[in-house]
Structure 1
């Protein structure tokens, strides 16, 4: 049913948005931004918009984006995906067919990015998702790229860190079995951890369903499992509940997670209960150097807050597109051709120096880059404490 529905949508849209000579507006490069400006991920959406505008203003201050000896203005066209898949797919079609965008930035969540990526690839429009980590987002989609590290590198990073810091050889996992990101991350972590520590070394593999708030049954099993630490790849809404309930039930061992902890108001909801905890991710504002520190300073000056991981990854996504556009050598004004040229240049990117680290694309839409281990310090600031490279 899903395949038939998508096929019908594509067939209809090919009628509405025919692939003829689609001309871009002269001297303006348009980016389509799919962000959660409403719904459950609005704080992430705010980070996206902040960074897009910061990068856009920087290039405008330089006189525009220089492509093939010509200066182009940059316009960002925002659509609200309302933190749900249906809205994300509906409004992206308008961006591709009617707004004459050259590329898409977003969506952030894998749930939306997988669906939007299918459309972007079908309409041969480059898409760079700053935060989606599901392999399905880019799989067999040459027009779709991501900026963050994948599940497997996060799994390796946490496994190595747990062994080094906690001498851990047994793990417990608690995750939402309905949500795509936690499910994919939990399974990837289990597979990698057991490849290192042996089958059965994940001594508790507990699940819950989206919307549940009482984790007593699962945490009881985890407490009785003799695990050395708890891994929970949940988002900022669930992590405080899990941490508080675990501590209340007597859990005194480490609790860790993945890059999903990095977006949203985790500390506003968790407070002191989350201080001292660690997780794997792509970026943290504390402990930065070089261009990452420059970005943190600029962002904080502009918005009076520290940038989070979604903000930094979005900034890199936009800068990546800018660099790739410049490397095309010039735009024809025919969007079909120019989108293809942009896609080819993104795919050929080597050693892009981003604020979240250096990255290269090697035949897929997935970058080769390093993971960071992030600690929430005594002031509640996310701070880089270690780097793990593939």
Structure 2
């Protein structure tokens, strides 16, 4: 079974994720380094590695270096679960930075919970993820807030009264956003003129879009991943549907414009941060990321960076390097100044933070507005 390791595996047996000889604290990570949504995992991993490099350069945690072991989940739930088991039982990691997709976190997090290994997801937004147990955390906002943001934006800013929804029916993330958007848009007096579905991997959406066109919507909410959204945008324009598409953070990839080309321009999505921010924490992060990787960081990179730094801060505060002590300190996270905003974790171990709405302009993402909880 193919695995991609982005950090060297330690040669000696690990004790609680830390070895006296190497003087390291070993952190595990699984991410989609290959597969249909590989840009998510690759970006997240770059953010994590940047944070760990900075922490190690500054002396590490309690005099120990952070060592990262990253495994590829290949974009599959079962691989995320397998990677988590391996990281815990074979590599004896102290904590795990979980992947991006909610479905994969729902498969992996129960394993970490059962072993009492702290699990921090950078970007799994489905509400059920942290309900798995008290060792499961996230540094992103959750789907209900993201769905609320776009329903409010569609109604108040874009003045839409009639919207169609096209959701990935097999994707927990997509279904969660769509459900909340529909409920909130209706609450605001709007009408959902069509609520249709597709499945990840589909390439022909013309039947659904033709049906949507007959309903004359003012916009289409498509809370899926960039792989399908780009194709949906192209086929919508081919059918004469010129209304804006709207979506969530699953759109956030340069591949969106590569796939959707000009058809995706002018569309909107909710996201975790904007590169147009003048916040010193954001501008400094972007500068360091560009220096290291020669590219502009997307939101997944920023979330990976924040997840790594929040975990490191908990490690530094913990009286001992063990699962319970780290878990307790993670739960105390309050007003952490992150790249994706000021982050506090609530009683459900979910991040309370703002969201931004951006508009697609080729490879650029134009900042439109910020919505707070």
Task: Answer yes or no: same fold by TM over 0.5.
Answer: yes
**Which has the larger displacement, 214-223 or 299-308?**
214-223
Measure how far apart 1:195 and its partner are.
2.0
Q: 1:210 to 1:40 in 2, by over 3 A?
A: closer
Instruction: Provide the C-alpha distance between the structure 2 equivalents of 1:185 and 1:264, rounded to a whole number of angstroms.
Output: 22
Cα RMSD after superposing both structures: 1.7
List per-residue Cα deviations over 1:360-386 (Å, max 9, x = no partner).
Answer: 112112111111111223x52123321
Separation in structure 1 between the aligned mates of residue 154 and residue 354 of structure 2, nearest angstrom: 17
In the alignment, which residue of structure 1 is the partner of 2:74? 82
Structure 1 range deviating more: 99-108 or 40-49? 40-49
Shift of 1:264: 5.7
* Kept in 2: contact 1:113–1:132 (CA 8 A): yes
**Where in structure 2 are the equivalents of 1:186-201 lying within 5 Å?**
186-197=178-189, 201=191
* Matched-pair contact (CA < 8 Å) for 1:34–1:106: yes
1:154 to 146, 157, 171: 146
What secondary structure is seen at the aligned counterpart in 2 of 1:53?
helix
CA distance in 1, matches of 2:258, 2:199: 24
Q: Which residue of 2 aligns with 1:32?
A: 28
Residue in structure 1 matching 2:257, options 267, 273, 287: 267
Contact 2:231–2:259 (CA<8 Å) still a contact in 1? Answer: no
1:364 partner SS:
coil
SS at match of 1:227: coil
Does residue 289 (structure 1) correspond to residue 272 (structure 2)? The answer is no
Distance, in Å, in 2 between the alignment partners of 1:91 and 1:196 is 43
What is the CA–CA distance in structure 2 between the aligned matches of 1:314 and 1:178, rounded to whole Å?
25
The CA deviation at 1:146 is 1.0
Deviation string 1:130-180 (CA, Å, 9 cap, x unpaired) is: 111111111141100111111111112112211233211221101121222
In 1, Cα distance between equivalents of 2:278 and 2:203: 35
Partner of 1:389: 372
Return the alpha-carbon distance in structure 1 between the equivalents of residues 80 and 245 of structure 2.
33
- Please say if residues 317 and 329 of structure 2, whose CA atoms lie closer than 8 Å, have aligned partners that are also in contact: yes
- The equivalent of 1:106 in structure 2 is 98
Secondary structure of the residue that 1:225 maps to in structure 2?
coil
2:324 maps to which residue?
Answer: 340
Any idea what the Cα deviations from partners look like across 1:59-100, whole Å, max 9, x if unmatched? 1211222x3xxx111100111111111111112112112212
**Offset of residue 233 of structure 1:** 0.7
Q: What residue in structure 1 maps to residue 4 of structure 2?
A: none
Report the alpha carbon displacement of residue 23 of structure 1 after superposing the two structures with TM: 6.9
- 2:107 matched to 1:128? no
> Where does residue 255 of structure 1 map in the other structure?
245
Equivalent-residue separation in structure 2 for 1:125 and 1:364 (angstroms): 17
Relative to structure 1, the CA distance from residue 22 to residue 76 in structure 2 (aligned partners, 3 Å threshold; closer, same or farther) is closer
How far off its partner does 1:107 sit?
1.5
* Corresponding residue number in structure 1 for 2:349: 365
Supply the distance in 2 between the matched residues of 1:279 and 1:22 (Cα, whole angstroms).
41
259-268 or 127-136, larger mean C-alpha shift: 259-268
Aligned residue pair count: 357
Does the 8 Å contact 1:316/1:356 carry over to 2? Answer: yes
What does residue 10 of structure 1 align with? none
* 1:62 and 2:83 correspond: no
1:43 paired to 2:44: no
Question: TM-score when scaled to structure 1?
Answer: 0.87
Aligned residue among 297, 308, 311 for 1:321: 311
- Tell me how far 1:315 sits from its aligned partner: 0.4
Match of 1:11 in 2: none
The 5 Å alignment of 1:129-278 reads 129-197=121-189, 201-263=191-253, 265-278=255-268
Q: Distance in 2 between matches of 1:351 and 1:48?
A: 22
Note the residue ranges of structure 1 that are not aligned, 5 or more in a row: 1-20, 332-337
TM-score w.r.t. the length of structure 2 is 0.91
1:21-80 deviations in Å (ceiling 9; x for gaps): 957313311110101122222222221221122111111211222x3xxx1111001111
Shift, 1:292, TM fit: 0.9
The CA distance in 2 between the partners of 1:55 and 1:22, in whole Å, is 22
Q: Distance in 1 between matches of 2:68 and 2:16?
A: 19
